[in-house]
Amino acid sequence: MKEETIKVKNRRGLHARSATLIVKTSSKYKSKIMIIKDNMEINAKSIMGVLMLAAEYDTVLRILADGEDEDSALEEMVKLFEHGLIEE
Amino acid sequence: MHITLKELLEIKEISEILKPFCIKEPSAVIGSNRLFSVGLALSGIFRDKPENLMLFGEDEYSYIQSLDPENSCQRLQRLLSEQKCAGMIFLKGCMPDFLSSGGKQSGNIMISEQGWEKTATIVSEILDELLAPVMTKHGVFMDIYGVGVLLTGESGIGKSELALDLISRGHRLVADDVVEIRKIRFDKIKGQAPNVLKGYIQIKGLGIINVEKLFGIISTRSSKRIEMVIKLIEDDDFTSVQYLGTEECFTSYFDVSLPLKTIPVARGRDMAKIIEVATRDFMMKRKGVNQSVDFEHHRRDILQEFYNELKG
């Protein structure tokens, strides 16, 4: 299991479109990917969960990946947040 | 979990019965749901309960009145002043004169408009709810025949689709995707949806659906005790599947043990029907009837008869 701490750099926080992007990206991987905010732990592959996080600008989140492709999964997730959740 | 006295007093149900009389430390932390009677503490036998509220009622009042004024004042002041408790609730009409006349006041004092029983019950209940340990879990939570069934499994296995199927069969949705689990008693846990997601379900290809609007008021329910867990797994993973069902499996949340059924999902299997039957089976077991064990006895009896005939 791998873990990384990131900050939401998106000015508008996690809105509908960026939430969709998170789900799309994490669903590409086989690993279980979780996002943790305070005592909330949600599945990154579920849009309802990501929307519920209501993570605003500068919120600190922990991303957890567990599975065979955890390294590449975590790497891409972190990159996604660093680029402000914009589709390339 | 904890809450400050100020936050507690701002809650509507609390503000209806508790009136602040003298709050010296609004930031006092309440970390325990137990409400103590002041009782023996007045006689000097006392362990510090800095995170608890205390209740001062008729009995304490008559005891204090029986002491000489100076002594009684001292004893009560000691409890109030040295952060021995997070706050003290006096029942209306039971406040010793030296406090109510506005004499030396210290600590956190509230007055309850209600009697002992009502005050104790309401305050404890609200504290129970507020201080209950909480966690979120990925899954779908449904009320099936009145039994709280938590469905878990990997994303994409079809939990939400299954929930939709169960809803159209007349069962009730509590939470889709994100379930908040609270320990409400040492042996009980309760599940509900986070406020934002209440009554909604997400189906891939359709988007987010308002279940209550589409299926009516009885299709949802706001919270329910969790009684059974069903884990959905891929069809090719047979290691954890029960063939005879004679062994009982359990899982636990917050140290509360719950029966666990692991069910493989395959094309052509009517999952909703299987979940319904699993729930009926759970209800039978709760009544003390175990069908798998019954079958085992039945099989043994028949074999025994067969041997007897052979011998005879």
∠ Cα A30 A32 A35 (to 5°): 135
pLDDT score recorded for residue B71: 77
Q: How far apart are CA B265 and CA B270, in angstroms?
A: 9
Residue matched to tokens 């069962």: B171
Q: Does A27 touch chain B (CB under 8 A)?
A: yes
pLDDT of B224 > 90? The answer is yes
Count CA within 13 A, CB hemisphere, residue A8: 22
Interface of B with A in 146-185 (CB under 8 A): 154-156, 176-178
CB-CB under 8 Å, B135 with A39: yes
Residue B266 touches chain A, beta carbons under 8 Å: no
Alpha carbons B229 and B152: distance in angstroms, whole number: 7
Taking the CA of residue A24 and the nearest CA in chain B, the distance in Å comes to: 12
pLDDT at B216: 94
Q: What is the rounded CA–CA span in Å between residue B312 and residue B308?
A: 6
Do the beta carbons of residue B149 and residue B274 sit within 8 Å? no
Q: Are B52 and B123 in contact (CB under 8 A)?
A: no
Residue B193 to chain A, least CA–CA distance (Å): 10
**Residues of A with catalytic roles:** 15
CB A46 to CB B136 under 8 A? no
CA distance B256 to B227: 10
Nearest to B178 among A27, A32, A42 (CB): A42
The mean of the pLDDT values for chain A is 85
* Residue B151 confidence class, pLDDT cut points 50, 70, 90: very high
Least confidently predicted of A84-88, B175-179, B275-279: A84-88
The DSSP symbol for A30 reads S
At B108 the pLDDT is 84
pLDDT at position B6 is 82
**Per-residue model confidence (pLDDT) at position A88:** 54
Q: Among all chains, which residue has been given the structure tokens 């296995």?
A: B157
* B294 pLDDT above the threshold of 90: no
Looking at residue A41, what is its pLDDT? Answer: 84
Residue B222 is predicted with a pLDDT of 93
* For range B231-250, the mean pLDDT: 78
pLDDT at B104: 59
Q: Compute the nearest-CA separation of B208 from chain A (Å).
A: 8
User: What average pLDDT score do residues B228-253 get?
Assistant: 82
User: Who wins on pLDDT, A65 or A13?
Assistant: A65
Check: CB of residue B235 under 8 Å from CB of residue B265: yes
In this prediction, residue B209 carries a pLDDT of 92
Q: A21 CA to chain B: closest CA distance, Å?
A: 15
- Report yes or no: A25 at the B interface, CB cutoff 8 Å: no
CATH value of A2-84 in 3.90.1570.10, 3.20.20.70, 3.30.1340.10, 3.30.70.2740 = 3.30.1340.10
Beta-bridged to residue A64, according to DSSP, are A3, A34
CA B94/CA B61 separation, integer angstroms: 6
* Contacts B154 to A, Cβ<8 Å: 32
Confidence of residue B160 (pLDDT cuts 50, 70, 90): very high
H helices, E strands: number in chain B:
10, 19
- For chain B, say whether A46 makes contact (Cβ under 8 Å): yes
Q: Residue B2: pLDDT above 90?
A: no
Which comes out higher in pLDDT, residue A53 or B192? B192
* pLDDT score at B238: 66
**Residue B143 DSSP SS3:** strand
pLDDT band at A19 (very low <50, low <70, confident <90, very high): confident
pLDDT digits (tens, 9 = 90+) for B59-69: 888 888 887 77
Other beta carbons within 10 Å of B200: 20
Q: What is the mean pLDDT of residues B266-278?
A: 91
Q: Which two tokens stand for residue B200?
A: 């909604």
| For residues A70-87, average pLDDT | 84
State the pLDDT confidence band at A83, using cuts at 50, 70 and 90.
confident
What residue ranges of chain B are covered by domains with CATH 3.40.50.300?
133-294
Residue B241 CA from chain centroid, whole number: 30
What pLDDT was estimated at residue B105?
A: 66
Asked if A48 has any chain B CB less than 8 Å from its own CB, the reply is yes
DSSP secondary structure letter of residue B170: T
Predicted confidence (pLDDT) at residue B196 exceeds the cutoff of 70: yes
Domain boundaries, chain A: 2-84
pLDDT tens string B26-39? 888 888 888 888 88
Q: How far apart are CA A87 and CA A45, in angstroms?
A: 17
Residue B191 near residue B237 (C-beta atoms within 8 A) = no
pLDDT (mean) for A64-84: 89
- Tell me the three state secondary structure of residue B199: coil
User: Span B184-192, mean pLDDT?
Assistant: 90
Nearest to A24 by CA among A8, A55, A9, A45: A45
Quick check: B178 and A48 CB within 8 A?
Answer: yes
The residue with tokens 């990159």 is A79
DSSP for B69-85 reads: HHHHHHHHHHHHHTTSE
Neighbours of B160 (CB within 10 A): 23
Sheet with A32-37, edge to edge strand ranges: A2-7, A60-66, A32-37, A40-43
- Model pLDDT for residues B91-132, shown as the tens digit of each residue: 888 887 777 766 556 778 888 888 888 888 888 888 888 888
Return the higher-pLDDT residue of B269 and B25: B269
Could you confirm whether domain B133-294 is CATH 3.40.50.300? yes
Residue B312 pLDDT class (50, 70, 90 cuts): confident
Best-predicted range by mean pLDDT (A69-78, B98-107, B165-174, B300-309): B165-174
Taking an 8 Å cut-off on Cβ atoms, the answer to whether A46 and B200 are in contact is no
Chain B touched by A32 (CB under 8 Å)? yes
How distant is the alpha carbon of residue B198 from its chain centre?
A: 18
- CATH tag for B3-130 (out of 3.30.9.10, 3.10.560.10, 3.30.420.40, 3.40.1390.20): 3.40.1390.20
**Which pLDDT band, with edges at 50, 70 and 90, does B181 fall under?**
very high
Token pair of B248, please? Answer: 């009982």
Q: What percent of chain B has pLDDT over 70?
A: 96
Q: Between A39, A43, A54, which is nearest B138 by CB?
A: A43
